[in-house]
Chains A and B, each alone.
Chain A
Amino acid sequence: MSDNTKILGNVGENIAAKFLENHGYKIIARNYRIRSAEIDIIAEIGGVIVFVEVKTRSNIRHGSAAEAVNFRKQKKIIEAASIFLQDENYCDCACRFDVIEIYSHGKDFTVNHIEDAFEVLSEI
């Protein structure tokens, strides 16, 4: 990962956090890491725990930001989320997986919040 994309990513995550706070979310944690996965933002609204994956793009040459949250990425987020819920004793509360897309146009940014972006797929 080049330094540039890393900076862009951090900028994006900050914008997303602010965006969520502006919309009434309470940020519980940021960059929650387990061994193999990371959740960008964990927030709470109305008793629902929201796990947010933030994707920032400066162009759509490589597909849209949300498209980058593929099945493998989803599985990692879900894994991290279930560990978070157990560790923090949130076991029996409602939760949700969101994706926030951020597109940068020079100094401006557009934010697109996708609620309920994905869910746990059973292995039956």
Chain B
Amino acid sequence: MYARTFGATTQGVDGLIISVEVDSANGMPSFDVVGLANAAVREAKERVRTAIKNSGLRLRQEKITVNLAPADVKKESAGLDLPIAVGLLAAQGKIPAAVLNDYVLISELSLEGKLRAVDGVLPMTVKARDEGFKKIIVAQDNINEALLVEGVEVFAPETLIELVEFFQGEFEIKPSTPQPDADTDDFIELIDDFSDVQGQFMAKRALEIAAAGGHNVLMVGVPGSGKTMLAKRVSTILPELTHEEALEVTKIYSVAGKLKRKGGLITKRPFQNPNHDASAAAIIGGGVIPKPGQVTLAHHGVLFLDELPEFKKSVLEALREPLEERQITISRVNGTLTFPSSMILICAMNPCPCGWYGDKDHTCNCSPLEIKKYTRKLSGPLLDRIDIHIRVPRVKYDELTSKRKAESSAAVRERVSAARVIQLERLKKYNLFCNAQMNHAMLQELCILTPEAEKLLKDVFEAKNLSARSYDRIIKVGRTIADLEDGAEKINSKHIAEAIKLRNDLDLDVQ
């Protein structure tokens, strides 16, 4: 007999509904799974058979064929265990096949017949709803994730036998409600606060501007000046995630398997700081079936690259696309996938290999050649994509021991949020949300300079031989500075002057 159930798998950060067709008929006993299943799915047959047996149900030994459609897409979710098991029971007449058409089943099975949580439930549920399904069956640890999607009923039986009896109409499973014991998203500990950092007013101001306008930042400074400390606190001054953003972030973490079991919506901005020996695939994403990388995990948050020149050249160059396009397209033989990567990039580096170049009280003992070699990895195109370049000097003793508490993250976040509101309003018609996303054409329209500002910029442009992209970046940063000042209509020379000051890459050897 033939039966059909619906399961789901992930494709990039989206779900894909899989139609699981099961045929069980007379013939030489066998169990075949066809339809580009990966190892985890092919092994499903052992789990399915044992789970059914241990649930006290008996399968007839028949020729069993399972087809996963669409047949040309690689399936990689262990969550197909449950639809295969239910389909098989329906094919052998143990479950009425007609009721199965309304459900999408997403769960792995344990050998004893319990439902197990899987990754990627959120995008799969979203897809199921979009395709018109109203009822989703998941493991109990996935309830909160599935319930983030409005407009579906979620059922979470504990075991396979409960589900079988539910389909037979002999057991009642109530639609699930959010699990109270869900301690959500404390996967990033955000107890850090901007007030922890004493002094460094210039750097803090730069990071505030970066947070306000979504600009990328490069901090160059001597060892121990607080670059890392500052960067780690940037996500605390970013405005709260909106619901849509939070859903997007949660989807990514769900697919990447980084969501805690029983976890729900991620409400805090992600902060990723990969080690400098990370491969290009780890940073931008990759794999035979492409998985999101660090740039995608930092979506709507902060990607922090400490010791920037220590990263592999290939990694740094691979960053160009995600920085420019705010998404990354990964092409593999098995298909091309696009992942979002709208993050703020914060980089930190020393000015030279020994670290003391440019410091007043230490002698740098690097040769010019060594410094050149050190900074050579940072190509012009990459640095051009970083709007704000600042120097972070050593903290003075008085500042460090000052009793006066520095400004807290909450106070800074208030200003940042206000500036973001102004930008959102201005950029609404373009469907953008921060200044860093503006393109050249929009600058002409949205960033009007006062005549003095215009003259100042012209002088600097000519004196420093700036590139066209540098010019755009200065205006964008200027726009953000103006927005921070109660949204001044025009960008004046003060704003432009500060924006230029925040681009002191002009003395790096690489420009």
Contacting residues, chain B, for A93 (C-beta < 8 A): 26
A21 at the interface (CB under 8 A from B): no
B30 touches A95 (CB 8 A): no
B34 touches A124 (CB 8 A): yes
The 8 A CB mask of B32-74 against A (1 = contact, 0 = none) is: 1010000000000000000000000000111100000000000
- Asked if A94 meets B26 with Cβ closer than 8 Å, knowing A116-B61, A119-B61, the reply is yes
B31 at the interface (CB under 8 A from A): yes
Complex Cα gap A97–B63 (Å): 13
A81 at the interface (CB under 8 A from B): yes
B188 at the interface (CB under 8 A from A): no
User: Which residues of B1-54 are within 8 A (CB) of A?
Assistant: 26-32, 34
Complex Cα gap A121–B30 (Å): 6
User: Which residues of A100-124 are within 8 A (CB) of B?
Assistant: 116, 119-122, 124
B28 touches A82 (CB 8 A): yes
Q: Which residue of A lies closest to B31 (CB)?
A: A119
Count: A-B pairs, CB below 8 Å: 35
Contacting residues, chain A, for B26 (C-beta < 8 A): 92-95
Among A78, A93, A96, A119, the one with the most B-chain Cβ atoms within 10 Å of its Cβ is: A119
Complex Cα gap A122–B26 (Å): 16
State the interface size on chain B (CB cutoff 8 A): 12
B28 touches A78 (CB 8 A): yes
Q: How far is the CB of B381 from chain A (nearest CB, A)?
A: 47
Q: Which residue of A lies closest to B37 (CB)?
A: A124
Q: How far is the CB of A114 from chain B (nearest CB, A)?
A: 12
B30 touches A122 (CB 8 A): yes
Complex Cα gap A120–B27 (Å): 10
Contacting residues, chain B, for A85 (C-beta < 8 A): 28
Among B27, B60, B62, the one with the most A-chain Cβ atoms within 10 Å of its Cβ is: B27
Q: Which residue of A lies closest to B60 (CB)?
A: A94
- Asked if A116 meets B30 with Cβ closer than 8 Å, knowing A94-B61, A94-B62, A96-B61, the reply is no
A120 touches B28 (CB 8 A): yes
B32 touches A124 (CB 8 A): yes
A92 touches B30 (CB 8 A): no
Q: How far is the CB of A30 from chain B (nearest CB, A)?
A: 21
A97 touches B30 (CB 8 A): no
Complex Cα gap A93–B29 (Å): 11
Q: How far is the CB of B35 from chain A (nearest CB, A)?
A: 10
- Asked if A122 meets B32 with Cβ closer than 8 Å, knowing A92-B26, A93-B26, A95-B27, the reply is yes
A96 touches B32 (CB 8 A): no
B residues contacting A by CB (< 8 A) are 26-32, 34, 60-63
11 cross-chain CB contacts under 8 A: A92-B26, A94-B61, A94-B62, A95-B27, A95-B28, A116-B29, A116-B61, A120-B29, A122-B32, A124-B32, A124-B34
